[in-house]
Amino acid sequence: MNQAQQLRDGIQALGLDIDEAKQAKLLDYAALLQKWNKTYNLTALRDPAQTVSHHLLDSLTLLPYIEHAQTMLDVGSGGGQPGIPTAICRPDLDITLLDANTKKTAFLQQAVIELGLKNVRIISGRVEAAADCRADVITSRAFAELADFVNWTEHLLKDGGYWAAMKGVYPQEEIDKLPESVAVEKVEALHVPQLNAERHIVIIRKKAV
């Protein structure tokens, strides 16, 4: 199965409506990831099929959880997941990708230019020092434990906003360590087509004062 068919089948299995132009751009991003990975070590995955399942489809599982967001911050974006696939599918959503690794942000800058993503900006630096990228939803994939994720980014969450943390196995121990100032709204299992591994999304909000 080629990547285009693999992506098309995966999107159908997820029940998402993503047109052919956006699917083509997702594959362009996958090609950039594979090309730059040889030099910048963006991901441990070398198999093109795994790029579709582990990076594209895995990222797209976020979409139903950010339907009403207008601004999004992707913390520890690395090679651009879930931020870049989200930006491709949601051109109306203003997205900031933040990472402290300058090689990775160099790749992100290049990817944004080559893919023509007008709705994305890149910040290179530590999240604790960021100040001008407040967002409705703050997301991360395998960035840090939940308590650290919340504590390091709380100053960047807009009023009424929420965190959407993409995790592997059900993170009960991490949930137990969350600060008293926040509450877990829900934890849902994510079923990623072609990916034989546990995935969960954790939605967290600040408690009303």
161 is in an annotated binding site: no
What's the confidence (pLDDT) of residue 48?
A: 64
Output the six-digit token pair for 98. Answer: 């933040």
- Point out the residues of the chain with pLDDT beneath 50: none
What's the confidence (pLDDT) of residue 41?
A: 66
125 is in an annotated binding site: no
Task: Quickly list H helices, 15-144.
Answer: 20-40, 48-50, 58-60, 83-89, 102-115
- Widest CA span in the chain: 53
127 is in an annotated binding site: yes
Q: What is the fold, at CATH topology level, of the domain defined by 3-206?
A: Rossmann fold (3.40.50)
What's the confidence (pLDDT) of residue 139?
A: 98
What's the confidence (pLDDT) of residue 131?
A: 80
> What is the tens place of the pLDDT at every residue in 178-208?
999 999 999 999 999 988 999 999 999 999 8
154 is in an annotated binding site: no
Element housing 187 (H / E): strand 182-189
What's the confidence (pLDDT) of residue 94?
A: 98
- Are 197 and 168 in contact by the 8 Å Cβ rule? The answer is yes
Output the six-digit token pair for 140. Answer: 């991360």
Long-range contacts of 108-113 (CB under 8 A, 24+ apart): 108/77, 108/79, 108/80, 108/84, 110/32, 110/36, 111/29, 111/32, 111/33, 111/36, 111/80, 111/84, 112/84
What's the confidence (pLDDT) of residue 40?
A: 62
C-alpha–C-alpha distance, residues 143 and 174, integer Å:
13
Tell me the domain boundaries of the chain: 3-206
C-alpha–C-alpha distance, residues 162 and 180, integer Å:
15
Output the six-digit token pair for 109. Answer: 């800058």
- Label the pairing between strands 182-189 and 135-141: unpaired
173 is in an annotated binding site: no
- Spatial CB neighbours of 14, under 8 Å, sequence gap ≥ 6: 57, 60, 61, 193
